[in-house]
Amino acid sequence: MGGHGCWHLATSHPDRFAVLAPQASWPTHQLYVPWFMQRSAIFAEPDQLAQRDAALRSDNVPAMLVNLSNLHAFILHGGMDDNVPTLHGRNFAVWLEELGYQYRYREVPDRKHWWKYEDLDITVCDDTALMAFVRDKRRVTGPRHVRFRTGDLGTTRGAYWVNIDRVFTVGQDAEIEADAGDSVISVSTRNVSEFTLELDQRLFFSGNVHIEVDGRQMGRHFALPALVTLHKDKANWKLGKARLPKLAKTRTLYGPAKQAMFSPFILVYGTQNPELAAYFRHTATQEALRWWLRANGNVEVLPDTEVTAAMVETRNLVLLGGPDANSYTRKIGRGLPIQAKQGHMHLAKRDLGPELAALFVYPNPENKHKLVLVRMGTDPEHDKLSRSWGLVYSGSGVPDFMVFDRTVKKQAWAGVHAAGFFGPDWRFDPQSSYIRE
Protein backbone atom coordinates (compact mmCIF):
# COMPACT_ATOMS: atom_id res chain seq x y z
CA MET A 1 0.00 0.00 0.00
CA GLY A 2 3.03 2.30 -0.23
CA GLY A 3 2.01 4.00 -3.47
CA HIS A 4 -1.44 4.92 -2.19
CA GLY A 5 0.08 5.93 1.15
CA CYS A 6 2.39 8.31 -0.72
CA TRP A 7 -0.54 10.03 -2.43
CA HIS A 8 -2.53 10.11 0.81
CA LEU A 9 0.28 11.71 2.83
CA ALA A 10 1.04 14.24 0.11
CA THR A 11 -2.57 15.35 -0.35
CA SER A 12 -3.13 15.46 3.41
CA HIS A 13 0.06 17.39 4.25
CA PRO A 14 1.38 18.98 1.03
CA ASP A 15 3.38 21.65 2.85
CA ARG A 16 5.69 19.07 4.45
CA PHE A 17 7.23 17.83 1.21
CA ALA A 18 9.10 19.01 -1.86
CA VAL A 19 8.13 16.13 -4.13
CA LEU A 20 6.08 12.95 -4.09
CA ALA A 21 7.10 9.81 -5.96
CA PRO A 22 4.35 7.15 -5.86
CA GLN A 23 5.11 3.84 -7.53
CA ALA A 24 2.43 1.45 -8.82
CA SER A 25 -0.26 3.18 -6.79
CA TRP A 26 -4.02 2.78 -6.69
CA PRO A 27 -6.32 5.81 -6.26
CA THR A 28 -9.03 4.47 -3.91
CA HIS A 29 -9.69 1.16 -2.22
CA GLN A 30 -12.96 0.85 -4.16
CA LEU A 31 -11.06 1.02 -7.47
CA TYR A 32 -8.13 -1.13 -6.41
CA VAL A 33 -10.40 -3.94 -5.15
CA PRO A 34 -13.66 -3.39 -7.10
CA TRP A 35 -16.60 -3.32 -4.72
CA PHE A 36 -19.42 -4.04 -7.18
CA MET A 37 -19.90 -7.58 -5.80
CA GLN A 38 -20.04 -6.47 -2.17
CA ARG A 39 -23.30 -7.19 -0.40
CA SER A 40 -23.59 -3.50 0.47
CA ALA A 41 -23.39 -2.52 -3.20
CA ILE A 42 -26.06 -5.06 -4.09
CA PHE A 43 -28.60 -4.58 -1.28
CA ALA A 44 -28.09 -1.18 0.39
CA GLU A 45 -29.80 2.08 -0.50
CA PRO A 46 -27.78 5.01 -1.91
CA ASP A 47 -28.46 7.10 1.20
CA GLN A 48 -27.01 4.37 3.39
CA LEU A 49 -23.88 4.00 1.27
CA ALA A 50 -23.40 7.77 1.22
CA GLN A 51 -22.44 7.61 4.91
CA ARG A 52 -19.92 4.83 4.28
CA ASP A 53 -18.38 6.73 1.37
CA ALA A 54 -18.15 9.92 3.44
CA ALA A 55 -16.24 8.01 6.12
CA LEU A 56 -13.80 6.84 3.42
CA ARG A 57 -13.47 10.31 1.88
CA SER A 58 -10.03 11.15 3.27
CA ASP A 59 -8.62 8.12 1.40
CA ASN A 60 -10.18 9.23 -1.91
CA VAL A 61 -6.96 10.61 -3.38
CA PRO A 62 -8.31 11.80 -6.77
CA ALA A 63 -10.76 14.11 -4.99
CA MET A 64 -7.89 15.63 -2.98
CA LEU A 65 -5.37 16.12 -5.80
CA VAL A 66 -6.26 19.83 -5.85
CA ASN A 67 -4.03 20.15 -2.76
CA LEU A 68 -0.86 19.44 -4.78
CA SER A 69 -0.56 22.77 -6.61
CA ASN A 70 2.83 23.49 -5.01
CA LEU A 71 4.32 19.99 -5.19
CA HIS A 72 6.19 18.11 -7.92
CA ALA A 73 5.07 14.55 -8.63
CA PHE A 74 7.00 11.68 -10.24
CA ILE A 75 4.67 8.78 -11.09
CA LEU A 76 6.38 5.45 -11.78
CA HIS A 77 4.60 2.35 -13.08
CA GLY A 78 5.53 -0.92 -14.74
CA GLY A 79 3.98 -1.32 -18.17
CA MET A 80 2.96 -4.94 -17.42
CA ASP A 81 1.94 -4.48 -13.77
CA ASP A 82 -0.08 -7.56 -12.75
CA ASN A 83 -1.10 -6.19 -9.34
CA VAL A 84 -2.05 -2.54 -9.80
CA PRO A 85 -3.14 -2.03 -13.43
CA THR A 86 -1.17 0.56 -15.37
CA LEU A 87 -4.46 2.38 -15.94
CA HIS A 88 -4.21 3.81 -12.43
CA GLY A 89 -0.82 5.44 -12.98
CA ARG A 90 -1.96 6.82 -16.34
CA ASN A 91 -5.11 8.23 -14.76
CA PHE A 92 -3.09 10.10 -12.14
CA ALA A 93 -1.07 11.68 -14.94
CA VAL A 94 -4.25 12.75 -16.75
CA TRP A 95 -5.77 14.22 -13.60
CA LEU A 96 -2.65 16.26 -12.78
CA GLU A 97 -2.44 17.41 -16.39
CA GLU A 98 -6.04 18.65 -16.23
CA LEU A 99 -5.25 20.58 -13.06
CA GLY A 100 -2.18 22.11 -14.67
CA TYR A 101 0.10 20.77 -11.93
CA GLN A 102 3.77 19.78 -12.11
CA TYR A 103 4.42 16.10 -12.71
CA ARG A 104 6.32 13.51 -14.70
CA TYR A 105 4.91 10.12 -15.64
CA ARG A 106 7.33 7.27 -16.33
CA GLU A 107 6.03 3.90 -17.49
CA VAL A 108 8.70 1.23 -17.83
CA PRO A 109 7.83 -1.27 -20.62
CA ASP A 110 7.55 -5.00 -19.93
CA ARG A 111 7.88 -4.58 -16.14
CA LYS A 112 5.44 -5.97 -13.60
CA HIS A 113 4.62 -4.72 -10.10
CA TRP A 114 8.19 -4.98 -8.81
CA TRP A 115 11.40 -5.32 -10.77
CA LYS A 116 15.13 -5.05 -10.80
CA TYR A 117 17.22 -3.30 -13.45
CA GLU A 118 19.64 -6.08 -14.37
CA ASP A 119 22.10 -3.84 -16.19
CA LEU A 120 22.23 -1.32 -13.34
CA ASP A 121 21.97 -3.70 -10.38
CA ILE A 122 19.26 -1.53 -8.79
CA THR A 123 15.58 -2.01 -8.01
CA VAL A 124 12.52 0.02 -8.93
CA CYS A 125 13.00 2.22 -5.83
CA ASP A 126 16.36 3.43 -7.17
CA ASP A 127 15.17 4.24 -10.69
CA THR A 128 17.79 6.66 -12.05
CA ALA A 129 15.23 8.97 -13.68
CA LEU A 130 13.33 9.13 -10.39
CA MET A 131 16.47 9.91 -8.41
CA ALA A 132 17.48 12.64 -10.85
CA PHE A 133 14.00 14.16 -10.66
CA VAL A 134 13.80 14.41 -6.88
CA ARG A 135 17.39 15.43 -6.22
CA ASP A 136 17.07 19.10 -7.14
CA LYS A 137 13.57 19.75 -5.76
CA ARG A 138 13.05 22.03 -2.80
CA ARG A 139 10.05 22.39 -0.53
CA VAL A 140 7.90 25.46 -1.17
CA THR A 141 7.38 27.29 2.12
CA GLY A 142 5.45 30.42 1.14
CA PRO A 143 3.37 29.96 -2.02
CA ARG A 144 1.20 32.87 -3.08
CA HIS A 145 -1.62 30.53 -4.07
CA VAL A 146 -2.99 27.80 -1.80
CA ARG A 147 -5.88 25.50 -2.56
CA PHE A 148 -6.90 22.99 0.06
CA ARG A 149 -9.73 20.46 0.35
CA THR A 150 -10.44 17.99 3.14
CA GLY A 151 -13.17 15.54 4.03
CA ASP A 152 -12.05 15.07 7.62
CA LEU A 153 -10.61 17.80 9.87
CA GLY A 154 -9.47 15.09 12.25
CA THR A 155 -7.05 13.86 9.58
CA THR A 156 -5.96 17.12 7.96
CA ARG A 157 -7.16 20.70 8.08
CA GLY A 158 -4.79 22.94 6.15
CA ALA A 159 -1.51 23.63 4.42
CA TYR A 160 1.14 26.34 4.28
CA TRP A 161 -0.43 29.51 5.72
CA VAL A 162 -4.10 28.47 5.48
CA ASN A 163 -6.03 26.38 8.01
CA ILE A 164 -9.69 25.35 8.21
CA ASP A 165 -10.77 25.42 11.86
CA ARG A 166 -14.46 24.47 11.69
CA VAL A 167 -17.05 23.41 9.14
CA PHE A 168 -20.81 23.78 8.83
CA THR A 169 -21.54 20.14 7.97
CA VAL A 170 -19.30 17.30 9.14
CA GLY A 171 -18.95 14.48 6.62
CA GLN A 172 -18.93 16.82 3.62
CA ASP A 173 -15.88 18.26 1.88
CA ALA A 174 -14.59 21.61 3.08
CA GLU A 175 -12.51 23.70 0.71
CA ILE A 176 -10.58 26.93 0.90
CA GLU A 177 -8.57 28.77 -1.75
CA ALA A 178 -6.37 31.76 -1.03
CA ASP A 179 -4.49 34.08 -3.41
CA ALA A 180 -1.99 36.58 -2.02
CA GLY A 181 -1.07 39.80 -3.73
CA ASP A 182 1.08 42.62 -2.40
CA SER A 183 -1.88 44.37 -0.79
CA VAL A 184 -4.91 42.02 -0.96
CA ILE A 185 -5.47 38.41 0.05
CA SER A 186 -8.49 36.91 -1.68
CA VAL A 187 -10.11 33.90 -0.01
CA SER A 188 -12.97 31.71 -1.21
CA THR A 189 -14.57 29.00 0.91
CA ARG A 190 -17.01 26.09 0.74
CA ASN A 191 -18.49 24.46 3.84
CA VAL A 192 -16.12 26.46 6.07
CA SER A 193 -17.43 28.28 9.15
CA GLU A 194 -14.04 29.34 10.56
CA PHE A 195 -10.49 29.57 9.23
CA THR A 196 -7.10 31.02 10.16
CA LEU A 197 -4.44 32.71 8.02
CA GLU A 198 -0.84 32.65 9.29
CA LEU A 199 0.56 35.76 7.59
CA ASP A 200 4.31 36.18 7.85
CA GLN A 201 5.78 39.20 6.08
CA ARG A 202 8.98 37.26 5.43
CA LEU A 203 7.14 34.97 3.03
CA PHE A 204 5.92 37.21 0.25
CA PHE A 205 4.22 40.37 1.49
CA SER A 206 5.67 43.83 1.09
CA GLY A 207 3.40 45.69 3.51
CA ASN A 208 0.00 45.85 5.15
CA VAL A 209 -2.77 43.89 3.46
CA HIS A 210 -6.53 43.75 3.12
CA ILE A 211 -8.45 40.48 3.26
CA GLU A 212 -11.36 39.67 0.96
CA VAL A 213 -13.50 36.63 1.78
CA ASP A 214 -16.06 35.17 -0.64
CA GLY A 215 -16.14 38.44 -2.60
CA ARG A 216 -16.52 40.76 0.40
CA GLN A 217 -13.66 42.82 1.82
CA MET A 218 -13.10 42.94 5.55
CA GLY A 219 -13.29 46.48 6.88
CA ARG A 220 -9.69 46.97 7.99
CA HIS A 221 -6.11 46.31 6.91
CA PHE A 222 -3.68 44.07 8.73
CA ALA A 223 -0.12 44.87 9.73
CA LEU A 224 2.21 41.93 9.22
CA PRO A 225 3.09 39.52 10.64
CA ALA A 226 -0.40 38.56 11.75
CA LEU A 227 -2.42 35.55 12.79
CA VAL A 228 -5.91 36.23 11.47
CA THR A 229 -8.94 34.11 12.35
CA LEU A 230 -12.34 34.72 10.80
CA HIS A 231 -15.66 33.02 11.47
CA LYS A 232 -19.01 33.19 9.73
CA ASP A 233 -21.87 34.56 11.78
CA LYS A 234 -25.04 33.77 9.82
CA ALA A 235 -24.32 35.33 6.42
CA ASN A 236 -21.36 37.53 7.36
CA TRP A 237 -17.68 36.91 8.02
CA LYS A 238 -16.35 38.41 11.26
CA LEU A 239 -12.92 38.72 12.83
CA GLY A 240 -11.97 36.41 15.65
CA LYS A 241 -12.91 32.94 16.78
CA ALA A 242 -16.52 31.91 17.12
CA ARG A 243 -17.88 31.25 20.59
CA LEU A 244 -17.77 27.48 20.91
CA PRO A 245 -20.35 25.33 22.67
CA LYS A 246 -19.33 23.40 25.78
CA LEU A 247 -18.77 20.36 23.62
CA ALA A 248 -17.13 20.99 20.24
CA LYS A 249 -15.30 18.93 17.66
CA THR A 250 -11.56 19.54 17.64
CA ARG A 251 -8.75 17.95 15.71
CA THR A 252 -8.22 15.20 18.29
CA LEU A 253 -11.92 14.89 19.15
CA TYR A 254 -13.47 14.78 15.72
CA GLY A 255 -14.34 11.24 14.65
CA PRO A 256 -15.01 9.05 12.78
CA ALA A 257 -15.23 5.94 14.99
CA LYS A 258 -11.68 4.74 14.39
CA GLN A 259 -10.20 7.99 15.72
CA ALA A 260 -10.65 6.59 19.22
CA MET A 261 -7.79 4.24 18.30
CA PHE A 262 -5.49 6.97 16.94
CA SER A 263 -4.09 7.74 20.38
CA PRO A 264 -3.51 5.51 23.43
CA PHE A 265 -6.64 3.55 24.32
CA ILE A 266 -7.82 0.67 26.53
CA LEU A 267 -10.13 -2.17 25.53
CA VAL A 268 -12.71 -2.50 28.29
CA TYR A 269 -14.90 -5.60 28.22
CA GLY A 270 -18.13 -6.02 30.18
CA THR A 271 -18.37 -8.54 33.02
CA GLN A 272 -21.86 -7.82 34.38
CA ASN A 273 -23.63 -10.49 32.35
CA PRO A 274 -22.08 -13.91 33.18
CA GLU A 275 -23.25 -15.30 29.84
CA LEU A 276 -21.35 -12.60 27.92
CA ALA A 277 -18.27 -11.97 30.06
CA ALA A 278 -16.16 -14.73 28.51
CA TYR A 279 -17.28 -13.73 25.00
CA PHE A 280 -16.34 -10.08 25.50
CA ARG A 281 -12.99 -10.99 27.05
CA HIS A 282 -12.23 -13.21 24.08
CA THR A 283 -13.24 -10.59 21.49
CA ALA A 284 -11.26 -7.90 23.31
CA THR A 285 -8.19 -10.14 23.20
CA GLN A 286 -8.77 -10.73 19.49
CA GLU A 287 -8.99 -6.99 18.89
CA ALA A 288 -5.75 -6.42 20.80
CA LEU A 289 -4.03 -9.07 18.69
CA ARG A 290 -5.40 -7.52 15.51
CA TRP A 291 -4.09 -4.13 16.64
CA TRP A 292 -0.65 -5.63 17.21
CA LEU A 293 -0.58 -7.41 13.84
CA ARG A 294 -1.96 -4.58 11.70
CA ALA A 295 -0.99 -1.44 13.60
CA ASN A 296 2.20 -2.63 15.31
CA GLY A 297 0.82 -1.31 18.59
CA ASN A 298 0.12 -2.52 22.10
CA VAL A 299 -3.19 -2.05 23.90
CA GLU A 300 -4.34 -2.99 27.38
CA VAL A 301 -7.32 -5.32 27.81
CA LEU A 302 -9.21 -4.80 31.07
CA PRO A 303 -12.56 -5.75 32.64
CA ASP A 304 -15.01 -2.94 33.35
CA THR A 305 -14.41 -3.37 37.09
CA GLU A 306 -10.80 -2.21 36.77
CA VAL A 307 -11.31 1.14 35.04
CA THR A 308 -9.79 3.86 37.22
CA ALA A 309 -10.00 7.65 37.27
CA ALA A 310 -6.37 7.83 36.14
CA MET A 311 -7.20 5.75 33.06
CA VAL A 312 -10.17 7.97 32.22
CA GLU A 313 -7.88 10.99 32.50
CA THR A 314 -5.21 9.71 30.12
CA ARG A 315 -6.78 7.18 27.72
CA ASN A 316 -9.54 6.75 25.21
CA LEU A 317 -11.77 3.80 26.09
CA VAL A 318 -13.20 1.17 23.75
CA LEU A 319 -16.22 -0.24 25.57
CA LEU A 320 -17.57 -3.68 24.74
CA GLY A 321 -21.11 -4.21 25.99
CA GLY A 322 -24.22 -2.18 26.74
CA PRO A 323 -25.36 -0.91 30.15
CA ASP A 324 -26.57 -4.34 31.24
CA ALA A 325 -23.26 -5.97 30.35
CA ASN A 326 -20.62 -3.28 30.96
CA SER A 327 -20.65 -1.30 34.22
CA TYR A 328 -18.68 1.61 32.73
CA THR A 329 -21.10 1.92 29.80
CA ARG A 330 -23.89 2.04 32.38
CA LYS A 331 -22.01 4.64 34.44
CA ILE A 332 -21.70 7.14 31.57
CA GLY A 333 -24.85 6.09 29.70
CA ARG A 334 -26.95 9.16 30.46
CA GLY A 335 -24.33 11.40 28.88
CA LEU A 336 -24.22 9.50 25.59
CA PRO A 337 -26.22 10.42 22.45
CA ILE A 338 -27.12 6.78 21.76
CA GLN A 339 -28.68 4.77 24.56
CA ALA A 340 -30.02 1.27 25.02
CA LYS A 341 -33.05 1.51 27.33
CA GLN A 342 -35.78 -1.03 28.10
CA GLY A 343 -34.85 -3.14 25.10
CA HIS A 344 -34.93 -0.25 22.60
CA MET A 345 -32.16 1.78 20.97
CA HIS A 346 -32.51 5.55 21.19
CA LEU A 347 -30.66 8.19 19.15
CA ALA A 348 -31.05 11.83 20.16
CA LYS A 349 -34.48 11.13 21.71
CA ARG A 350 -35.59 9.08 18.70
CA ASP A 351 -36.79 5.56 19.46
CA LEU A 352 -35.22 3.41 16.74
CA GLY A 353 -36.81 0.23 18.01
CA PRO A 354 -35.82 -3.12 19.55
CA GLU A 355 -33.33 -5.79 18.50
CA LEU A 356 -30.60 -3.38 17.39
CA ALA A 357 -26.85 -2.97 17.84
CA ALA A 358 -24.85 0.25 17.89
CA LEU A 359 -21.27 1.36 17.30
CA PHE A 360 -20.34 5.00 17.95
CA VAL A 361 -17.65 7.41 19.13
CA TYR A 362 -18.23 10.31 21.52
CA PRO A 363 -16.32 12.43 24.05
CA ASN A 364 -16.20 10.64 27.38
CA PRO A 365 -18.81 12.25 29.69
CA GLU A 366 -16.29 11.85 32.54
CA ASN A 367 -13.51 13.53 30.56
CA LYS A 368 -14.55 15.51 27.50
CA HIS A 369 -10.92 15.63 26.30
CA LYS A 370 -10.89 11.87 25.61
CA LEU A 371 -13.07 9.62 23.47
CA VAL A 372 -15.13 6.54 24.13
CA LEU A 373 -15.86 4.07 21.37
CA VAL A 374 -18.95 2.10 22.38
CA ARG A 375 -20.17 -1.23 21.01
CA MET A 376 -23.50 -2.26 22.51
CA GLY A 377 -26.89 -3.80 21.82
CA THR A 378 -30.45 -3.76 23.12
CA ASP A 379 -30.03 -7.33 24.45
CA PRO A 380 -27.29 -9.95 24.79
CA GLU A 381 -27.67 -11.19 21.21
CA HIS A 382 -27.24 -7.67 19.84
CA ASP A 383 -24.41 -6.90 22.23
CA LYS A 384 -22.59 -9.62 20.30
CA LEU A 385 -23.82 -8.24 16.97
CA SER A 386 -22.22 -4.88 17.78
CA ARG A 387 -18.85 -6.52 17.03
CA SER A 388 -19.80 -6.97 13.35
CA TRP A 389 -17.87 -4.01 11.94
CA GLY A 390 -14.09 -3.96 11.94
CA LEU A 391 -12.19 -0.66 11.97
CA VAL A 392 -8.55 -1.56 11.38
CA TYR A 393 -8.46 -2.11 7.64
CA SER A 394 -8.44 -0.02 4.46
CA GLY A 395 -12.13 -0.24 3.55
CA SER A 396 -13.86 0.00 6.94
CA GLY A 397 -15.99 3.04 6.07
CA VAL A 398 -17.51 3.48 9.55
CA PRO A 399 -18.66 7.06 10.34
CA ASP A 400 -19.20 8.51 13.84
CA PHE A 401 -22.15 6.24 14.57
CA MET A 402 -24.05 3.24 13.22
CA VAL A 403 -27.20 1.48 14.45
CA PHE A 404 -28.06 -1.81 12.74
CA ASP A 405 -29.93 -5.10 12.92
CA ARG A 406 -28.93 -8.71 12.26
CA THR A 407 -29.57 -8.22 8.52
CA VAL A 408 -26.02 -6.87 8.27
CA LYS A 409 -24.79 -10.46 8.49
CA LYS A 410 -26.20 -11.17 5.02
CA GLN A 411 -26.84 -7.77 3.45
CA ALA A 412 -24.22 -5.53 5.12
CA TRP A 413 -25.16 -1.83 4.93
CA ALA A 414 -28.74 -2.72 3.97
CA GLY A 415 -29.23 -3.62 7.64
CA VAL A 416 -28.23 -0.15 8.89
CA HIS A 417 -31.07 1.81 10.54
CA ALA A 418 -29.09 4.96 11.29
CA ALA A 419 -25.59 6.18 10.51
CA GLY A 420 -23.66 9.37 10.05
CA PHE A 421 -21.60 12.10 11.64
CA PHE A 422 -22.31 14.19 14.70
CA GLY A 423 -22.25 17.93 14.04
CA PRO A 424 -19.50 20.39 15.04
CA ASP A 425 -21.09 20.52 18.51
CA TRP A 426 -21.27 16.70 18.78
CA ARG A 427 -25.06 16.78 18.42
CA PHE A 428 -27.09 14.69 16.02
CA ASP A 429 -27.23 16.52 12.67
CA PRO A 430 -29.81 15.41 10.06
CA GLN A 431 -27.70 17.07 7.35
CA SER A 432 -24.86 14.59 7.87
CA SER A 433 -26.84 11.49 8.82
CA TYR A 434 -29.11 8.74 7.56
CA ILE A 435 -32.14 7.43 9.46
CA ARG A 436 -34.42 4.76 8.10
CA GLU A 437 -37.99 6.05 7.98
Judge if 97 and 214 occupy the same domain. no
Given this model, what pLDDT does residue 240 score? 94
Identify the residue with better confidence: 292 or 206: 292
Q: Give the pLDDT confidence of 73-103 residue by residue, as tens digits.
A: 999 999 999 999 999 999 999 999 999 999 9
Residues 322, 374: Cα–Cα separation, whole Å: 8
Judge if 345 and 425 occupy the same domain. yes
Note whether residue 246 is domain-resident: no
Note whether residue 406 is domain-resident: yes
Q: Check which CATH number belongs to the domain holding 109 and give it.
A: 3.40.50.1820
Number of structural domains (the chain) is 3
Note whether residue 155 is domain-resident: yes
Instruction: Out of 135, 159, 184, pick the residue that ends a domain.
Output: 135
Instruction: Out of 239, 268, 299, pick the residue that ends a domain.
Output: 239
Note whether residue 352 is domain-resident: yes
Judge if 336 and 412 occupy the same domain. yes
Q: Check which CATH number belongs to the domain holding 266 and give it.
A: 3.30.379.10
Given this model, what pLDDT does residue 124 score? 84
Given this model, what pLDDT does residue 90 score? 97
Judge if 7 and 109 occupy the same domain. yes
Look at residue 119 and tell me whether its pLDDT is greater than 90.
no
Q: Give the pLDDT confidence of 277-330 residue by residue, as tens digits.
A: 999 999 999 999 999 998 889 999 999 999 999 999 999 999 999 999 999 999
Q: What is the mean pLDDT of residues 226-232?
A: 95
Note whether residue 27 is domain-resident: yes
Look at residue 202 and tell me whether its pLDDT is greater than 80.
no
HSE value, Cβ hemisphere, 13 Å, CA-based, for 66: 16
Residues 373, 350: Cα–Cα separation, whole Å: 21
Note whether residue 56 is domain-resident: no
Confidence of residue 171 (pLDDT cuts 50, 70, 90): very high
Judge if 289 and 207 occupy the same domain. no
Identify the residue with better confidence: 306 or 205: 306
Judge if 330 and 220 occupy the same domain. no
Judge if 129 and 155 occupy the same domain. no
Domain span including residue 189: 145-239
Note whether residue 229 is domain-resident: yes
Given this model, what pLDDT does residue 123 score? 85
Instruction: Out of 95, 113, 135, pick the residue that ends a domain.
Output: 135
Residues 419, 400: Cα–Cα separation, whole Å: 8
Note whether residue 164 is domain-resident: yes
Given this model, what pLDDT does residue 122 score? 83
Judge if 176 and 269 occupy the same domain. no
